[in-house]
Amino acid sequence: MAISNGNIPFNNFSSGGILSSHIIPGAYSHIVANVGSAGVVQGNVGVIMGQCTQGQPQVLMQFNSPTQAEQTLGSGELCDAVRMAFNPSPNYTPQAIYAMRVNSATQSTLNLSNAIPNVVIALTSADYGLITQQVNITISAGTNVGQKLVINFQNNTQTFDNTYRSSLTLTHATATVSITTNSGTNTMVLSVGTYTIQLANYPTLAALAAYINTLTGYTAVVTAGQSNASPLLLDSTASAQSLLGGYVCTSNMQAVIDTINNNCIYATAVAANGANNRTAPSNIATTYFGTGTDGTYTATDWTNALTAMTAYNVNFIATPNSSASVWASISAHVTSMCAPSGRKERQFLCGNAYGTTDTQRVTDAQTLNSQYGMYVVQGFTQYNINGIATQYGAGYTACLLLGIICSTAINMPLTSKTLNVISLEANLPTSRVEPLLSNGCCVVNYDASGLPKIVRQLNSYQTANLLWNEWSSVREMNYVSLDLRNYLQNLYVGQPGSNFSQGVIIGAVTARLKYYVSQGIFTADNTGKSFWNIQISLNGSVLTIDYDAYITLPINFVFLTQHFHDVVQAVS
């Protein structure tokens, strides 16, 4: 008899872009067959851009799991999109997703003062955004010595007790010492003999102690482990201190700074004394950081983020943002990166808001009109981070597609790939799908079996040229352009032209083109020819290379012609 599905969960194994589920205990493995070649460029780096509540803005962040992304990004559209991109399909799982926070968030700060009071230490939150105003610090007397620092963020507490640093012990029968570290002049004055020591003249405490030990009646002993420390880090003395029986010179202010910087995950610290004396901060009751903001999310922020993106080697950009002006900015950026001067070929994916009409979808795709950009149609319903079924626009669908792209080979098309969603926005009839496709929309819809699939991986390009209409073929051309250019640059740029003959160069180019054939990026005609007509010319300092090749196109259609005949029985 048939056995129904039970309630015991299966365990998912994700590795090498392959996802499998298991319930029977045992050891399981995935085989990842990669054909390698020295110096091959990366072809699967995808970044999602948008706004969130945590994370440093306008820097590229790599995540290897959705949990890691949630911990770093907090909440917001970027966090949701990255989280879902890690589980885009029942059949594909990316090993890494990159993200860039666009909104120009700022850090929270807090100044710590001494007893005078003068500011001595400036604290800055490690994270960015309004949420960092929840960071707070309490300073009290240490259990045994020094101070106790308690730093808290959202009920997560770090405690650093006995924050204290002994640096140098001075001894003299009658003398006193005064240490002044203000106005940029760091001096130590020894009263007997009236020795005024400029601390900047001694690179280490060991050097300072060696000098003091040459002075009649004085003894200086460096605390273990502090020999190489700078004398400039010594605390000031409130007044002249007697050396009878030994006086311990401390660096407690630096101890506080180093303790926070080396151990605290919520804040960093720097000396901010200026003309103020260098002393440990005063004890304070629980005090919150301030000034942190989530920043703006404007055209300027997008411009700044995309400018920052030019420094990174990424292949794909997606965004959950449904603004046409944002798409236009991304499109302009990608086009410039694919230009000869850009030298960092890339593609982008975007999508409309939930509930957008077909008329508006067509208008959006026609306006975008990019051979490097995909405009995705149809949002979906999926559980949010709190387990509540939520409607998401097609911008999030675009991010799911990016997750699949980052899991597949260079020549693998997106067409007919299944999406991991609860339900799509609608089940579109053919009468609606065909006009959308013909106007450069990448449509996601239910197939005949009721599975949510990508109908066709079309770019928004409004020209009947399959090489530019199909996402995977543009991906292949971009990859070959980027890889072959880097390969040839590493071989020849900066080398004397006399060292290479045309035959040697043709051999090098041929070897690389054969690699693309082995990867299925180039395909062969019925004579077995994949590339041909390699032409090399060296004119002065200019090496010119020209060739032709067949790029691999996806199989979109199967046309089946069937000839059926009736059987004519012979009469005996």
User: Per residue in 83-118, pLDDT tens?
Assistant: 999 999 999 999 999 999 999 999 999 999 998 888
Query: What percent of the chain has a predicted confidence (pLDDT) above 70?
Result: 92
For helices 299-309 and 324-338, angle between their N-to-C axes, nearest 10 degrees: 20
Sign of CA dihedral 550, 552, 556, 559: positive
Q: Are residues 435 and 530 in the same domain?
A: no
Domain assignment of residue 513, given as a range: 471-549
Q: Specify if 142 maps to a domain.
A: no
Of 462, 483, 509, the domain-final residue: 462
Smallest Cα–Cα separation from 523: which of 477, 488, 464? Answer: 477
Give the DSSP H or E segment for 99: strand 97-101
Q: Is 216 exposed, middle or buried (0-12, 13-18, 19+ CB in 10 A)?
A: exposed
Q: Are residues 433 and 498 in the same domain?
A: no
What number of residues does the chain have?
572
CA angle 19, 423, 412 (to 5 degrees): 40
Cα–Cα distance for residue pair 67/254, rounded to 1 Å: 35
Structurally, how many domains does the chain consist of? 2
Which of the given ranges, 221-225, 235-239, 565-569, has the highest pLDDT on average? Answer: 221-225
Q: Are residues 307 and 454 in the same domain?
A: yes
Let me know how many helices (H) and strands (E) the chain has, helices first.
12, 29
> What band does 465 get if pLDDT is binned at 50, 70 and 90?
confident
Q: Specify if 288 maps to a domain.
A: no
Please tell me the predicted confidence (pLDDT) of residue 129: 93
Q: Are residues 403 and 515 in the same domain?
A: no
Q: Specify if 319 maps to a domain.
A: yes
Residue 9 pLDDT > 70: no
Q: Specify if 457 maps to a domain.
A: yes
Q: Are residues 489 and 375 in the same domain?
A: no
Q: Specify if 122 maps to a domain.
A: no
Cα–Cα distance for residue pair 82/384, rounded to 1 Å: 12
CA dist 53 to 101, 134, 389, 532, Å? 9, 13, 22, 53
Q: Are residues 527 and 430 in the same domain?
A: no
Question: Looking at residue 421, which CATH number applies to its domain?
Answer: 3.40.50.11780
Q: Are residues 352 and 382 in the same domain?
A: yes
Pairing of strands 18-22, 11-15: antiparallel
Sign of CA dihedral 333, 334, 340, 343: positive
Residue 452 pLDDT > 80: yes
Q: Are residues 305 and 414 in the same domain?
A: yes
Of 445, 462, 479, the domain-final residue: 462
Q: Specify if 194 maps to a domain.
A: no
Residue 16 pLDDT > 50: no
pLDDT tens for each residue of 164-213: 999 999 999 999 999 998 766 789 999 999 999 999 999 999 999 999 99
Q: Are residues 304 and 448 in the same domain?
A: yes
Residues 6+ apart with CB under 8 A from 468: 371, 459, 461, 474
Q: Are residues 405 and 321 in the same domain?
A: yes
> What band does 150 get if pLDDT is binned at 50, 70 and 90?
very high
Q: Are residues 383 and 437 in the same domain?
A: yes
Residue 255 pLDDT > 80: yes
Residues 6+ apart with CB under 8 A from 17: 32, 92, 93, 94, 95, 407, 408
Partners of residue 123 on adjacent β-strands: 110, 269
In the block, which residue shows the tokens 């929270």? Answer: 108
Residue 29 pLDDT > 70: no
Of 405, 434, 462, the domain-final residue: 462
Cα–Cα distance for residue pair 189/187, rounded to 1 Å: 6
Q: Specify if 55 maps to a domain.
A: yes
Structure tokens at 312: 């990174």
Q: Specify if 321 maps to a domain.
A: yes
Partners of residue 290 on adjacent β-strands: 109
Residue 26 pLDDT > 50: no
Structure tokens at 87: 């589980």
Q: Are residues 445 and 310 in the same domain?
A: yes
